[in-house]
Amino acid sequence: MSELLNTLSYPTLFLVCLLSSTLLPLASELFVLSFLNFDFNPFLVLFTSTLANSLGSITTYLLAFLGKKEILERYFKNSLKKISKVDKNFNHFGAFYAFFSFLPLFGDIFVLGLGFAKYSLLKTCIFIGLGKFVRYFCLFLLYFYEIIKF
């Protein structure tokens, strides 16, 4: 039974982290901390959560990059209104927006804006990945130095 739990756990972590970085409001941090608390391999947890969370944001970016504006306006009307208020020049500060895509609420808006602005896919992937890694790595440090009690 323990082996089955270990086998299913990493795909579940991947799915939760992937979905939490799309436009769905899930707290992947709590899920990651739970894995650490149950003594899962920290390197695998860090890798899985970073990869999945990055892919979720890149999916949102591609939705905006490739999507028809009419469809996006129909389903993501509130997010699109916020994009125009954040910044008109995503191409100039794109790396910063991609890096800070891990921020709650604003991260999805940043990524949608990058997609609409047709910001470089390669740069977007690199800086989203770096931002997500730094966020989870800081979370790990806080956990392992017992600053966060779980």
> Angle, nearest 10°, between helix axes 28-37 and 42-66?
160
- Among 78-82, 98-102, 117-121, whose mean pLDDT is lowest? 78-82
- 42-46 mean pLDDT: 97
Average pLDDT in the chain: 86
> Which DSSP letter does residue 86 get?
H
For residue 61, give the nearest of 97, 85, 25, 15 by alpha carbon.
97
pLDDT above 90: residue 96: yes
- 19-24 mean pLDDT: 83
Nearest 10 degrees: Cα torsion 8, 10, 14, 17: 110
pLDDT for the residue numbered 27: 86
> Which DSSP letter does residue 102 get?
G
Per-residue confidence band for 105, with pLDDT thresholds at 50, 70 and 90: confident
pLDDT above 90: residue 142: yes
Per-residue confidence band for 133, with pLDDT thresholds at 50, 70 and 90: very high
Asked whether the beta carbons of 131 and 79 are under 8 A apart, the reply is: no
Contacting residues for 127 by C-beta, under 8 A, at least 6 apart: 94, 95, 96, 98, 99, 101
pLDDT above 50: residue 1: no
